[in-house]
Amino acid sequence: MPRPSNTPWLTPYLTVASGRAAIDFYQRAFGFTAGHVIDENGVPTHAELHYKGELVVMFAPEGAWGTTARTPRSLGVEAPQTFYVYCDDVDAMYAQATGAGAVSVMPPADQFWGDRYCMVEDPDGYRWGFGTPLPKADAETGDVPSPES
């Protein structure tokens, strides 16, 4: 068995400024739920977060276990990657995330690749894109089904 059960083949592992603050933010902003959390002397030093029952991200705070890794915000740089997460309703996710303190990078809009998409930045400077596939047009008529169909 090359990986633990219920674990994806690829899981981002981030450095955050504060484990407790990151857990709180990701729960409020994105609806992630905390899974396995290692707490040392009242400080989360490792956390696994889930979305829709799947592991989506793990993280540790700056300085955990002697690391010198820092967040994009601490380094004063723009994160070079964006984490793309599919969700049920991009507009609702955007409102929830910005309401919880995420910074808007790109408000929701229909995109050429076939998703409705938005992008926000979390307090540590990581960028999160959320997408929902747009309804496909009927090949013969060009009609797009309504969301109620």
Q: Tell me how far apart the alpha carbons of residues 82 and 75 are, in angstroms, rounded to a whole number.
A: 17
| Residue 5's pLDDT band (cuts 50, 70, 90) | confident
pLDDT of residue 144: 61
Triad 74, 77, 78: Cα angle to 5°? 120
pLDDT of residue 2: 83
Q: Is 8 exposed, middle or buried (0-12, 13-18, 19+ CB in 10 A)?
A: exposed
Mean residue pLDDT of the chain comes to 92
CATH code of the region 13-133: 3.10.180.10
| Residue 148's pLDDT band (cuts 50, 70, 90) | low
Q: End-to-end CA distance of the chain, in Å? A: 42
Q: Tell me how far apart the alpha carbons of residues 95 and 102 are, in angstroms, rounded to a whole number.
A: 10
Q: In this prediction, what percent of the chain has a pLDDT beyond 70?
A: 91
Convert the pLDDT of each residue in 28-77 to its tens digit. 999 999 999 999 888 899 999 999 999 999 999 999 989 999 999 999 99
Triad 16, 29, 128: Cα angle to 5°? 65
Q: In this prediction, what percent of the chain has a pLDDT beyond 90?
A: 81
| Residue 20's pLDDT band (cuts 50, 70, 90) | very high
Q: Which secondary structure element, helix H or strand E, spans residue 22, and what is its range?
A: helix 19-30
Comparing CA positions, the residue from 111, 110, 85, 109 lying closest to residue 29 is 85
pLDDT of residue 101: 98
Tell me the residue type at 87.
C
